[in-house]
Structure 1
Amino acid sequence: MIDISERAQQHFLRLLSQQGSDGMSIRLRVTQPGTAAANCELEFCEPADLAGGEWTIECTGFDFHVDGESARWLEGATIDFETNATGGQLNIRAPKIKGDVPGAESGLIERVRYVLDAEINPQLASHGGRVTLLEIDASGAVLLQFGGGCHGCGMVDVTLKQGVEKTLRERVPEITAVRDATDHAGGEKPYYSKTEGKSALG
């Protein structure tokens, strides 16, 4: 199911030895599986933390547990530890955790939502912002609502035109326009309160 390289196993073993607790192991689970926001989370766990539905992989010197509900999303996953000048980096590659990317045969709404979740919102999140799809009209115009740090932000027009609209129209060519339906006068914590600054997607 999961291929854990020898280097990754040694890395996990080093981390576990630093915990100073016998019987501790590693557990992997997927958060928000099947969506563009899916992610892998690793944690230390003791025997009492195990729910009983985990898949267990016996590694050299420790057990590696996969959350039972996450297992199907981790088929074909690989875990490796790549050394570099600063020590190293653990890399988890799990090609199936986000599900299938909507193809050209998928509906317009499904494809627009995927681009918002997979590409646009992760970038807006760095400024505490987010954008939600309200509707797509018959002409292909997309109506969006900004929230968080984008709500009332002085740079939201730049973000909309240079970032959000550009990305959406590149990924989903059928879109004819992208409009902002947000009442920005009511924003409580805008990232930029004036027009100075940069686009959140700059």
Structure 2
Amino acid sequence: MISLSETAQDHFRKLIEQQSSPGMGIRVHAVEPGTPKGDCQLEFSEPGDRNGTEWEVECEGFSLFVDSDSVPFLDGATVDFTRSPTGGELTIRAPALRGSVPGDNASVVERVRYVIETEINPQLASHGGRVSLREITAEGTVILQFGGGCQGCGMVDATLKGGVEKTLKERIPEVTGVADATDHDTGTNPYFKRDAHA
């Protein structure tokens, strides 16, 4: 599960003592786990905040509570606190938090989703857009759904062919092409307006 260094336990224990609340602990949960944005959130945990499904890690003088749905992503995590003249720095290392690169035996769907989340969506996010996988046909065509600034965008065809398709074909040999299943007429905030006469 999670291991805390002595300095991290000491840091949390002092914070909890300042709260003067019986049964106070520390709660940790994963935010957007399994994606490149995966992160950890720490907060105080009072007895009334807990529902009994959390995993409890007993520490010196307090307990750390891990949300049950975060356990797979925080297994093997380490928490350390480095003191400095200006205070200190808390470091959490969680190898499984952002997911792992799919292996050679992973399905095409897993590999396509991984490339979408780690390479394509971070680029589209600069335009307020995103893309999600709808399906992959037997012929290897990846059917995508655009959203955000990409829905209704006048440049989506260029993005689809010049960016998304090129990247997916380079990374995953089984991909033969991409297709767009998005209803672009319902887009409310396109990054580039479409030509009404097109």
Query: Does the pair score TM above 0.5?
Result: yes
Residues in 2 aligned to 1:72 and 1:30: alpha-carbon distance in whole angstroms: 10
Q: Give 1:8's aligned residue.
A: 8
Summarize deviations over 1:2-58 as a string: whole Å, max 9, x none.
12123433443455456x34233211123566x447553322211211223333333
Summarize deviations over 1:51-93 as a string: whole Å, max 9, x none.
2333333334432122244334432111234579996654322
Q: Give 1:199's aligned residue.
A: none
Summarize deviations over 1:108-156 as a string: whole Å, max 9, x none.
2232123223443355345442212233334423222211221122443
Seen in structure 2, the aligned counterparts of structure 1 residues 58 and 85 have a Cα distance that, compared at 3 Å, is same
Counterpart residue type for residue 30 of structure 1 = A
The secondary structure found in structure 1 opposite 2:116 is helix
TM-score normalised according to structure 2 size? 0.72
How many residue pairs get aligned? The number is 193
Q: Give 1:53's aligned residue.
A: 53
Residues in 2 aligned to 1:189 and 1:86: alpha-carbon distance in whole angstroms: 45
The two structures, once aligned, show a CA RMSD in angstroms of 3.5
Q: Give 1:107's aligned residue.
A: 107
Percent identical among aligned pairs is 58
Deviates more, 1:8-17 or 1:55-64: 8-17
The secondary structure found in structure 1 opposite 2:179 is strand
Q: Give 2:142's aligned residue.
A: 142
Residues in 2 aligned to 1:193 and 1:183: alpha-carbon distance in whole angstroms: 15
Q: Does 1:22 align with 2:21?
A: yes
TM-score normalised according to structure 1 size? 0.71
Q: Which runs of 5+ in 1 are unaligned?
A: 196-202
The secondary structure found in structure 2 opposite 1:160 is helix
